[in-house]
Every structure is written in structure tokens, then in C-alpha cells.
Amino acid sequence: MKYLGLAYFTPEQFATMTPDEIKELVSQCPPLDEKMRATGKVLVSASHGDLDTWKTLRPRAGETHITDGPYTESKEVVGGLFIIEADSPDEALRIASMHPAATLGEEGGWAVELIPLDFYLAP
């Protein structure tokens, strides 16, 4: 079974952190990411780019309208994603719990949402 992990952060909380606090927090991420990837069960792992370059596409009056930014109705914003192929839900939870957003970043409002996928597109 495949699982989509969405790593969230809360921009308002993150904005209260100093640059040094952010640097310290982010410096702790690579070893945790590597531990998660070392399971051999992570198919994809990625972090977001600069929020200023995000675009939102929405259908409006039969056309696709494009606006700047991640303006979904949520206080949390997706900061990264990963896909796990696990033999059980418990294994998926164990692997997802290794992600930095599941273990660090409380001050930045970090969190991980783990979603079972009913299907996926093979390359």
C-alpha cells in the first residue's frame, strides 16, 4: 500500500522565529530525512520552493484562473511531501514518524498528515 505524507507548517508561527532559530531548526532536518529514506520504503520526498513563487489554479466560469500564492482556506501550508510504500498501516506510521515535521518544529507549527492512497500512477 502506498501512503502520501503531507508535511505542514503554520506561516504565522514560523514568522515569529528568528533567522538563527530557523537555521538551527532546519539544520536538524537532513539526518532525519536520511533516516526515513534509509528504510528503503520512501518513493518520493520533496520540500516546497519559495512561497512567493507558488501559483493556485481554480476553475472559474469554464476557464482555469491562476492566482499567486498558496491561498487555500487553511492556517497550515504544505511545506513538503513524501510517498511511502509500506506493508501495513503501522509500518507507514513508523516511517512517517521519522519525518522532521513529525518530530521537530513545534514552534513553527509543523505537522504530518498521512493519507492512504487507493491508486498511483506508475512511471
Give tens-digit pLDDT for 19-40: 999 899 989 999 999 999 999 9
In a domain, 113, yes or no: yes
In a domain, 95, yes or no: yes
Parent domain of 97 = 2-117
pLDDT at position 73 is 62
CA distance 70 to 86: 30
> For residue 123, is it within any domain?
no
What's at 79, amino acid-wise?
G
CATH number at residue 54: 3.30.70.1060
User: pLDDT category, 71, cuts 50, 70, 90?
Assistant: low
Is 122 part of any domain?
no
Q: How many domains does the chain have?
A: 1
Cβ proximity of 1 and 116 under 8 Å: yes
Could you read off the pLDDT of 35-69 as tens digits, one per residue?
999 999 999 998 877 767 888 888 999 999 898 87
pTM, two decimals, is 0.82
89 falls within a domain = yes
88's CB contacts (< 8 A; 6+ apart) are: 1
Q: Do 8 and 113 touch, CB atoms closer than 8 A?
A: yes
